[in-house]
Amino acid sequence: MEQDIYLFHQGNLRYSYQLFGAHVDVQNGEAGIRFAVWAPNAVQVSVVGLFNDWDGREHPMKKLNDQGVWCVFIPGLETGMMYKYEILTTHGHLRLKSDPYAFSSEQRPNTASIIHPLHDYTWNDEEWMKQRTERNIYESPVSIYELHLGSWKNIESEVFYTYREYADMVIPYVKELGYTHIELLPLTEHPFDRSWGYQATGYYSVTSRYGTPDDFRYFVDQCHQAGIGVLLDWVPGHFCKDEHGLRRFDGEALYEYENPSKAEKSQWGTLTFDFARNEVQSFLISNAIYWLKEYHLDGIRVDAVASMLYLDFGKNDGEWELNEHGGRENIEAVTFVKKMNEAIFEEVPNILMMAEESTSWPLVSAPTYSGGLGFNYKWNMGWMNDMLTYMELDPIHRKYHHHLLTFSLMYAFSENFVLPISHDEVVHGKKSLLNKMPGDYWQKFANLRAFLAYMYAHPGKKLLFMGGEFGQFDEWKDMEELDWKLLDYDSHASIFNYIKQLHQLYKDMPALWELDHKEEGFFWIDPNNNEQSIVSFARNSRATNDQLIVVCNFTPEVYHNYSIGVPEQGFYEEVFTSDAEHFGGSGQTNGLRLKTVPVPWQGQDQQITMTIPPLGVSFLKRTVTKEVEHEE
């Protein structure tokens, strides 16, 4: 224990949750629970609960060192019991606090911690975990279904199913659609439903809204057995101010900065973690490792990274102070992020660490040894903003904003990108993805199909928020379940089927993912036809015969006998089109094989003539035949 305490104070205890919190133990032949907490400014700390009538005089803790680690063993206590810490501050106030390291918590609005064993679940996902260590995620298909459990389906508003019940409903649905991963909005315990988990109090407690920690382990286990990875949103940048939580935990600023200009995130009403404090580093790094190790998660999406990196994030002039070098970067936060990522990849390799970083900070997804922040993926917020702005334009105006369609390829290989259409884009008056699309009823669906096809053809892994897969008309209603009744209507059922088929194409075609992060995986054929809002490009895999030609038309005009340059002689077959009638399209397809003509065009040695569908995307693949081989 002494060595662990030393490492904790040095900021290097990567498994601090094994030291702190409530643990089943046996001392002097008696079974009970060992409690440990960090509260350096406390005059006295006690464990209280129903077992002692919440009387702090019954079970005072012993202070083990001058740096504020308190510990006590209480015989006879069992798992499932509720407890809190009663803390006497230097100001003479008694505070009742939830355990920062509690593994389980009471269901809101109650706030007590619950004793829960750390290891009491038998996993059955050995095959998945073995395959994960062997998989090259960078050269694999990754399509993520972003999910908020409570509003995916619920019994009624604020009354939810359990993790086990969600497993039975969500997993077959996601598997049918063809997603490779589920990403869950934060499940750390939080007091307010409408914070969606982004303002937490219990960083080691999976929220009790949907059941117990082992219920959630079952959810992950079942996902893995079905071949689906599980990612979790995680919020190390800030925490909420509720009295039972981390705020002024022992009567003084402890987990948060003492300096209000650094501590306060006024736009969210939250407090920033003190990234310079070693014990806070141990707390947060251990927390990420905890979720990855103890819940077998396949990755973490780190929320609001920019809010950690910049001192002036969300602040007005006069509300923040320059760093010691006269800049606006939070130097200790940058150092912490690098340290965190190094620790995580050493302890849990072959996982995803995805940064939601909304600025142009360089090398976010590069290793720390080459000057990067150490994540292995970054959300491409630039692509998302440009494309949604473009798609919301009336097609007649798109030719004046053609750069929004093509600019992302100027930097597409500067990071390992995920293309995200997340919950943030379909809430708070921003409209649903379908309702962002201009035009009449048919055109809205055609625009959506075209957008999704372009997204899946564009370099980068994919993420789509729930409801987008069947064309939810209303924006996300976080207190109600999705509008499942829409699947009874042909247009919405067709979008659902379209996503299924698009995923099948995506998985079947290595050109769409194998070289996602390398320049040789993409080249433009014609990015400049702004007058007709048509772009064409190629996606490559390592195998030369896997190349795909992608042609996108973002106007409702049909073009017959349209010439496209192609690099190889042969016949080209349309392997997928967003305009197929069974998807709700107009059926302007290329049913016959398209033979090349040896006339250079658009920088290519050959050309083909094809039909370009309205508001449509066509995927073409070269078919080598005996006739062509003979000609060659």
Left, alpha or beta for 119 (phi > 0: left; psi -120 to 50: alpha)? beta
Q: Which of 77, 76, 93, 94 is nearest to 85 (CA)?
A: 94
Average pLDDT of every residue of the chain? 96
Q: What's the CA gap between 421 and 419, in Å, rounded?
A: 7
Q: What's the CA gap between 153 and 482, in Å, rounded?
A: 7
Residue 289 pLDDT greater than 60, yes or no: yes
At 497-555, the pLDDT tens digits run: 999 999 999 999 999 999 999 999 999 999 999 999 999 999 999 987 899 999 999 99
Residue 624 pLDDT greater than 80, yes or no: no
Q: What's the CA gap between 114 and 213, in Å, rounded?
A: 11
φ and ψ at residue 313, rounded to 5 degrees: -60, 120
Between the two ends of the chain, the Cα-to-Cα distance in Å is: 74
Q: What's the CA gap between 605 and 603, in Å, rounded?
A: 7
CB-CB contact of 183 with 231 (8 Å) = yes
Catalytic residues: 303, 356
Report the pLDDT value the prediction gives residue 144, as an integer from 0 to 100.
98
SS3 category, 453: helix
All CATH 2.60.40.1180 domain ranges of the chain, comma separated, are 520-631
All CATH 2.60.40.10 domain ranges of the chain, comma separated, are 2-114
At 16-70, the pLDDT tens digits run: 999 999 999 999 999 999 999 999 999 999 999 999 999 999 999 999 999 999 9
- pTM of the shown model: 0.96
At 317-337, the pLDDT tens digits run: 989 999 999 999 999 999 999
CB-CB contact of 60 with 45 (8 Å) = yes
Report the pLDDT value the prediction gives residue 627, as an integer from 0 to 100.
57
CATH code of the domain occupying 520-631: 2.60.40.1180
Alpha-carbon Rg for the chain, nearest whole angstrom, is 27
CB-CB contact of 236 with 308 (8 Å) = yes
At 72-81, the pLDDT tens digits run: 999 999 999 9
DSSP run (H or E) holding 345: helix 331-347
Q: What's the CA gap between 409 and 141, in Å, rounded?
A: 20
Q: Does domain 2-114 have CATH number 1.10.10.1150?
A: no
Residue 477 pLDDT greater than 80, yes or no: yes
The DSSP symbol for 353 reads E
At 439-469, the pLDDT tens digits run: 999 999 999 999 999 999 999 999 999 999 9
Within 13 Å of residue 80, how many CA atoms lie on the same side as its CB?
3
Q: Which residues pair with 131 in a beta bridge?
A: none
Report the pLDDT value the prediction gives residue 438, as an integer from 0 to 100.
98
